[in-house]
């Protein structure tokens, strides 16, 4: 039953495994339940925290109450059939400090490649003419850790829990928390810094068009 839950197999696929095991087993008494459905009902009545299933009403549509089954995964129960329900994370809004925590990337202050989304070097962060940017991906980061190149990629040599989510790239999902930046005054700081940088590079002539508007 643990394999069926882990890989989200249907009742018919689970029944096929049970039939195959019973057919070629040399045991007098089968160790498996008679069916996948019977196995799930057994766990429903068994107090095992990590394998419990329970129905919770979540939506009423056309006067019909649709529950879900809570367990290692989520399932909709519709017309007595269990349909797999997989929650999907679309985006994660985070500031820079939060982003490196989600992605296991080094803190920006001590990182050669401080971006949580790509592999741009620290020296090229302000390079507006940069033509090629290599994005971080779960497979590339796994390979870097396995080959001992984690320091070259500025990533901690630890497994990231988000890598286990199918069809999900944690590095693409991270987006800047613009409201957080505005609330902390970071946007004003960036404007002031840009003005000082322009003044240092070009003098007061750069500000005449700005002041005239």
Structure tokens at 83: 């349909």
- Name the nearest CA neighbour of 1 among 47, 75, 52, 55: 52
Q: Is pTM, for the whole model, over 0.85?
A: no
Residues 6+ apart with CB under 8 A from 161: none
- Helix/strand/coil for 119: coil
pLDDT of residue 51: 47
CA angle, residues 36, 37, 42, in degrees to nearest 5: 95
- Give Cα separations from 198 to 194, 202, 206 (angstroms): 6, 6, 7
Please identify which residue in the block is written with the tokens 């196995």.
Answer: 39
Can you give the pLDDT of all 213 residues of the chain as single tens digits? 667 666 667 788 888 878 887 887 777 777 677 888 887 776 666 544 444 445 555 555 566 665 555 555 566 666 666 666 666 677 888 887 888 889 999 987 778 888 889 999 888 877 778 888 899 999 999 999 999 999 999 999 988 988 887 778 999 998 887 776 666 666 777 788 888 888 777 777 766 655 544
For the chain, state the CA radius of gyration.
27
Q: Do the beta carbons of residue 102 and residue 89 sit within 8 Å? A: no
Q: What's the confidence (pLDDT) of residue 67?
A: 56
Q: What is the pLDDT of residue 50?
A: 46
Is 144 within 8 Å of 155 (Cβ atoms)? yes
User: Can you give the three-state secondary structure of 50-92, one letter per residue?
Assistant: HHCCEEEEEEEECCEEEEEEECCCEEEEECCEEEEECCCCCCE
């Amino acid at each position: 039953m643990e394999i069926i839950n882990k890989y989200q197999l249907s009742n018919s696929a689970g029944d096929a495994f049970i039939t195959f095991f019973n057919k070629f087993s040399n045991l007098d008494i089968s160790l498996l339940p008679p069916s996948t459905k019977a196995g799930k009902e057994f766990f429903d009545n068994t107090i095992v925290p990590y394998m419990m299933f329970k129905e919770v009403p979540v939506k009423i549509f056309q006067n019909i109450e649709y529950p879900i089954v809570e367990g290692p995964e989520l399932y909709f129960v519709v017309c007595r059939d269990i349909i797999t329900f997989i929650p999907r994370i679309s985006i994660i809004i985070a500031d820079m400090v939060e982003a490196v925590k989600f992605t296991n990337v080094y803190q920006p202050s001590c990182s050669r490649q401080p971006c949580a989304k790509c592999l741009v070097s620290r020296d090229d962060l302000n390079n507006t003419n940069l033509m090629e940017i290599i994005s971080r991906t779960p497979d590339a980061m796994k390979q870097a850790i396995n080959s001992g190149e984690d320091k070259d990629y500025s990533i901690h040599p630890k497994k990231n829990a988000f890598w286990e989510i199918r069809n999900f790239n944690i590095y693409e999902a991270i987006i800047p928390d613009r409201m957080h930046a505005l609330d902390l005054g970071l946007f004003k700081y960036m404007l002031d810094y840009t003005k000082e940088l322009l003044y240092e590079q070009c003098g007061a002539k750069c500000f005449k068009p700005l002041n005239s508007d």
